Amino acid sequence: MDDIIFGKNSVLEALIAGNREINKILISKNSRPDIKLNKIKDLAREKGIIFQFVAKEKFSQYAEFNHQGIIAHISPIKYMDLDEFLEKRHVNESLIILDGIEDSHNLGAIIRTAVCAGVSGIIIPSRRNVQINSIVEKTSAGAINHIPIIKVNSLNNAIEKLKNSDWWIIATDASAKDNHYDINYNDMNFAVIMGAEHAGVSKSLLKLSDFIVKIPMMKDFNSLNVSNATAIIIFEALRQKLTKR
Amino acid sequence: MDDIIFGKNSVLEALIAGNREINKILISKNSRPDIKLNKIKDLAREKGIIFQFVAKEKFSQYAEFNHQGIIAHISPIKYMDLDEFLEKRHVNESLIILDGIEDSHNLGAIIRTAVCAGVSGIIIPSRRNVQINSIVEKTSAGAINHIPIIKVNSLNNAIEKLKNSDWWIIATDASAKDNHYDINYNDMNFAVIMGAEHAGVSKSLLKLSDFIVKIPMMKDFNSLNVSNATAIIIFEALRQKLTKR
């Protein structure tokens, strides 16, 4: 069964990445041509992918998706297996592990930020976490085609495997003593566990972690949006890498 | 005309902040009592604010808002005037200036992150930028009640005023030479200008800025979501403050 992806960025990025089969592209007859749309048409022609111009009413069922008058029918994303990921040699790389993220927009934003920061993959559990859907694809602005999504049945097992493969595990927790920037992220493979917005990282995963860190806050206020929290940590790691601390 | 705010966090934070008039709170009869809901009821009683239990059908018109069975009618947020803000003495403080942000979720997330980082205020233009609406309030998780929102008719004039009041202006631009972490954020009042997701910061504002910085990326990919980009920069400034670099 095909997925549907929405919007110019999503369709364009899927065409560029080329790792999924695009079965057809539907474009609203009312769409005004612009640089992105022209690029989409050129690439589709080049790759022999059908695109059709259809009445804008065809899109009314997708009103909630901010489709910009363009959708594509595409094969579902292929998840990577953790064993397959670990078969390759990894040097000073990073992973993000998501534990119970519920919001599609947050997952999409995390994927996008992960690609910008050069993260090597994102691990999500097959249950109790939002899965890849159209909103995730849209919010990721096509980034989803540029990073392995590793789906696992048990985060506990996945973390054990990572530790046995010389990965260091960093969990985030609001009550941690250490600050996230106290970690030296250079010269190791590390995976950062980000928890659900309300519940945080599960106790069993905290126990398995090598480091537990917090993002210090200036006000005693609620907490950060999880995609922003993820961005702060992985871009601190990138800062350290680029400046050698 | 009252605003309507949605969800337990939004209502609770508005009650705690106490800086806006809450005219009534409507709670779905089907809501299960929990800690937050009990806190809301206790605070409402204490402050003499009416709360009513209503049929859940009353909420159907707000389906898109993830209202969690609770809404409140509340006086609109009071914007602060820039002159009023500048009358007070500011030492090593920060501001965020938003130039053309279109997405309500992004504005809400930026407000939330700004409060967590102890930012002193957010400046938005009265045109060509999303304004404070119910989605912004909800996404901010109530943070909007904890930070001045400064609305100005002209960002150019606002920046001139800030510069005359000893604030330093930092603009973000993908083609900048300097990285955002090369700035020493300590010992100055600074305002960071964040631009629209596609267009970036306007040329006229770039010209007025003291520093132009980028967030370095590992892949040649699109760009960060603007709320994540904002989080990365203001939390780097906070890191510097807390570690004295």
Q: Are residues A166 and A70 in the same domain?
A: no
Residue after which a domain boundary falls, among B41, B74, B107: B74
User: Are residues B225 and A115, on separate chains, in Cβ contact within 8 Å?
Assistant: no
Q: Are residues A67 and A147 in the same domain?
A: no
Q: Are residues A9 and A64 in the same domain?
A: yes
Domain span holding position A102 = 82-243
Residue after which a domain boundary falls, among A34, A49, A74: A74
Phi/psi of residue A35, nearest 5 degrees: -55, -45
Q: Give the model's pLDDT for residue A245.
A: 61
Residue B212 pLDDT greater than 80, yes or no:
yes
Q: Nearest CA to A2 among A108, A134, A105?
A: A134
pLDDT confidence tier of residue B245, bands split at 50, 70 and 90: low
Residue B222 pLDDT greater than 70, yes or no:
no
Q: Give the model's pLDDT for residue A222.
A: 62
Q: Best-predicted range by mean pLDDT among A11-20, A60-69, B227-236?
A: B227-236
Q: Are residues A58 and A150 in the same domain?
A: no
In the predicted model, what is the mean pLDDT of residues A190-209? 93
In the predicted model, what is the mean pLDDT of residues A161-170? 97
For residue A117, the chain B residues in CB contact (below 8 A) are 217-218
For residue B136, the chain A residues in CB contact (below 8 A) are none
Q: Give the model's pLDDT for residue B63.
A: 80
Residue after which a domain boundary falls, among B28, B52, B74: B74
Residue A42 belongs to domain with CATH number: 3.30.1330.30
Cβ within 8 Å of A, B 64-103? none
Residue A197 pLDDT greater than 80, yes or no:
no
Pick A180 or A7 by higher pLDDT: A180
Q: Give the model's pLDDT for residue A212.
A: 97
Residue A30 pLDDT greater than 80, yes or no:
yes
User: Are residues B109 and A227, on separate chains, in Cβ contact within 8 Å?
Assistant: yes
Residue A83 pLDDT greater than 80, yes or no:
yes
**A240 has a chain B CB within 8 A of its CB:** no
Q: Are residues B196 and B227 in the same domain?
A: yes
Residue B11 pLDDT greater than 80, yes or no:
yes
Share of chain A above pLDDT 70, in %: 99
Please name the member of B105, B116, B142 whose beta carbon is closest to the beta carbon of A224.
Answer: B116
Q: Are residues A91 and A51 in the same domain?
A: no
**A224 has a chain B CB within 8 A of its CB:** yes
Encode pLDDT of B46-103 as tens digits: 999 999 999 988 888 888 777 889 999 998 888 999 999 999 999 999 999 999 998 8
In the predicted model, what is the mean pLDDT of residues A88-94? 95
Q: Are residues B129 and B190 in the same domain?
A: yes
User: Are residues A112 and B222, on separate chains, in Cβ contact within 8 Å?
Assistant: yes
Q: Are residues A34 and A87 in the same domain?
A: no
Q: How many CB atoms within 10 Å of residue A232?
A: 27
**B117 has a chain A CB within 8 A of its CB:** yes
Work out the mean pLDDT of chain A and round it to a whole number: 91
Work out the mean pLDDT of chain B and round it to a whole number: 91
Domain tally for chain A? 2
Residue A198 pLDDT greater than 80, yes or no:
no
Residue B151 belongs to domain with CATH number: 3.40.1280.10
Encode pLDDT of A121-151 as tens digits: 999 999 888 888 888 888 888 888 899 999 9
Residue B197 pLDDT greater than 80, yes or no:
no
Q: Are residues B95 and B111 in the same domain?
A: yes
Q: Give the model's pLDDT for residue B95.
A: 98
State the smallest CA–CA distance between residue A59 and chain B in angstroms: 19
pLDDT confidence tier of residue A64, bands split at 50, 70 and 90: confident
Considering only alpha carbons, which residue of chain A is nearest residue B147? A219
Q: Are residues B20 and B128 in the same domain?
A: no
User: Are residues B231 and A239, on separate chains, in Cβ contact within 8 Å?
Assistant: no
Please name the member of B113, B218, B224 whose beta carbon is closest to the beta carbon of A224.
Answer: B113
Give the dihedral of Cα atoms B152, B155, B160, B162; nearest 10 deg.
60
State the pTM of this model.
0.86
Q: Are residues B97 and B204 in the same domain?
A: yes
Encode pLDDT of B94-137 as tens digits: 999 999 998 888 999 999 999 999 999 999 999 888 888 888 88
**A177 has a chain B CB within 8 A of its CB:** no
Please name the member of A219, A231, A232 whose beta carbon is closest to the beta carbon of B146.
Answer: A219
Residue A199 pLDDT greater than 90, yes or no:
no
